[in-house]
Chain A
Amino acid sequence: MRKRWTYRHTLPVRITHWVNFPCLLILLMSGLQIFNTHPSLYWGKSSYTGKPSILSMSAKQMKGETIGVTRVLGQEFNTTGLFGASKMGGQWQERGFPAWATIPSSQALALGRRWHFLFAWIFVINGVLYVAYSLSSRHFARDLAPTKADLRGIGRSIKDHLVFRHPSGEAAKHYNVLQKLAYLMVIFGLLPLVILMGWALSPWLDSVIPGWVDLFGGRQAARTLHFLAAVALVAFVVIHVFEVISIGFWNNLRSMVAGRYRIKEAANDSR
């Protein structure tokens, strides 16, 4: 099998990609710290509307044992050790998410907010730079916008993904259609949503156009959407990293660090 190289990622894409990595991780973990102060989610304008919460985590004592309970839409689940009650330094604590998932690890809302807002700024500025670069360099149009042929081949691409068949030869030089759609949904869907829902939580930004927060169901609905968007981003990152590893960890890593990506010749190319 012959090897070929292609220059896959431009420098601005590589830099902004890696700035995202610590930002997303710290935003997630400091976000869970903030969530832990009031580990319940609601739908509506306020938390106290007469309707129950849609999700809540708490601890209770049963026969001398600490039990972590997660209630989702009225259903109770025993989530001891993970949600509601978990150990920190050998001691059981009532807390939403466990210490290893939060920044700081112990309960400290003021510090969690500091981490969250600092990295929110870095993340948003990085995102704006990425979008500006991608528009001016036509990165979106060239690499991310699906072509007609892409969209026609969407069924085959789904099948390829399900059986872990990876593109080779010419096809490996470009993002495949599911990859393009996933990136576009994250860049133009999930990320704007998570940022906007973060703004919706600010009482001062509420006054920019009074009532705008209700377009999303109200402030507590916005808090829930902010949380769900973060969960969706975690799911994206998990699948993203899984694909990176299964397609070729070092090759992908090299291309995102140095730019060069090794192409395997397709079997029929060399025939």
Chain B
Amino acid sequence: MTADNNEGRRRFLAGTVGAAGGLLLSGCDYLSWSGAFVRLVEGAQKLSGAAQHLVTSRTSLAQEFTEADLSPFFRSNGTSNPQDPAYQAMAQNGFAEYRLEVTGRVKRRTAFSLAGLRDLPSGTQITRHDCVEGWSAIGKWKGVKLAALLKRVHPLPDARYVVFHCADSIDDAGTRYYESIDMEDAYHPRTILAYGINNQPLPIKNGAPIRVRIERQLGYKMAKYVMRIELVESFAGISGGRGGYWEDEGYEWYAGI
């Protein structure tokens, strides 16, 4: 083996590694948008959801914390003050005119005032909020148990999902934020419509007057500024059809991971 030969091999090797790296990057960028890849990824997501359900019970509880663990301030993300005029008018008046409408596949359509919601069975929990971005914050939430609210409206047997329609829009087009969960999460003992945080009324930056808490999933599932709850058989016809604002942007509907 000659020195020249070695030099050539080294150059060939360096070139190959560099080219392979470039190819990998552009390949991954290209593949990210192809149909087959998206289907493969969706398969992997289903597998993740199925595996996570296999090792937990329907009513398994996310960890709860003590007052000592509370974050000094609870970070606001996404919208911190909805610009919708109707919302602004309500906020001016301390949400006295707020009515949470419950519609869709229910026997009894109902509109709840904030006082009406406070009269329903409530729950208080100190839990960790995990944002898809990577940060976590710990807060003490108080709110009406969604299961108790659903009992009042009598869901029809074909209701499979609970959709939360919100007052805020994140993009410039004005698309309203929305989210959806299945009935398993809707009836979960820690799923609440929170009207209080850290012993105070929920401030606007954290979703006043009502934000939903779904403790085993990521923050984007926990819609703020909830104005209307709709029970549906399928969310295919709502907005982008994927069950939520961020889901329509490519995030997963199942946000337990």
Which residues of A approach B to under 8 Å, CB–CB?
25-26, 29, 34-35, 37-38, 40, 45-50, 100, 103-106, 108-111, 113-115, 117-118, 121, 201-208, 210-211, 213-214, 219-220, 223, 249
Check A204/B257 contact, CB under 8 A, given A121-B47, A219-B130.
yes
A167 to B133: give the CA distance in the assembly, Å: 48
Binds A, one of B25-33, B105-113, B191-199, B229-237: B25-33
**Nearest CB of A to B248, in Å:** 11
Contacts of A108 in B (CB 8 A): 32
Contacts of B132 in A (CB 8 A): 37, 109, 113
Contacts of B172 in A (CB 8 A): none
Asked if B52 contacts A117 (CB within 8 A), the reply is no
Query: B60 on the interface (CB 8 Å rule)?
Result: yes
A136 to B190: give the CA distance in the assembly, Å: 45
Which residue in chain A gives the minimum CB-CB distance to B33?
A111
A86 to B71: give the CA distance in the assembly, Å: 32
A38 to B134: give the CA distance in the assembly, Å: 6
Asked if B29 contacts A211 (CB within 8 A), the reply is no
Asked if B60 contacts A207 (CB within 8 A), the reply is yes
Asked if B25 contacts A46 (CB within 8 A), the reply is no
Binds A, one of B114-122, B147-155, B157-165, B211-219: B211-219
Which residue in chain A gives the minimum CB-CB distance to B257?
A202
Binds A, one of B61-69, B78-86, B200-208: B61-69
Asked if B61 contacts A204 (CB within 8 A), the reply is no
Binds A, one of B37-45, B90-98, B173-181: B37-45
**Nearest CB of A to B176, in Å:** 20
Contacts of A37 in B (CB 8 A): 132-134
The 7 closest A-B pairs by CB, nearest first: A204-B256, A38-B134, A48-B71, A110-B250, A207-B60, A47-B135, A118-B44
Contacts of A213 in B (CB 8 A): 63
* 23 A-B pairs in the complex with CB atoms less than 8 angstroms apart: A29-B25, A35-B134, A48-B74, A48-B137, A100-B21, A104-B32, A105-B25, A109-B133, A110-B251, A114-B45, A117-B45, A202-B52, A203-B130, A204-B216, A205-B52, A205-B55, A205-B257, A206-B62, A206-B216, A210-B60, A210-B64, A213-B63, A249-B9
**Nearest CB of A to B189, in Å:** 12
Contacts of A202 in B (CB 8 A): 52, 256-257
| Extra inter-chain contacts (7) besides given A45-B69, A202-B256, CB under 8 Å | A49-B69, A113-B251, A114-B38, A114-B41, A118-B40, A207-B215, A214-B63
Query: B56 on the interface (CB 8 Å rule)?
Result: yes
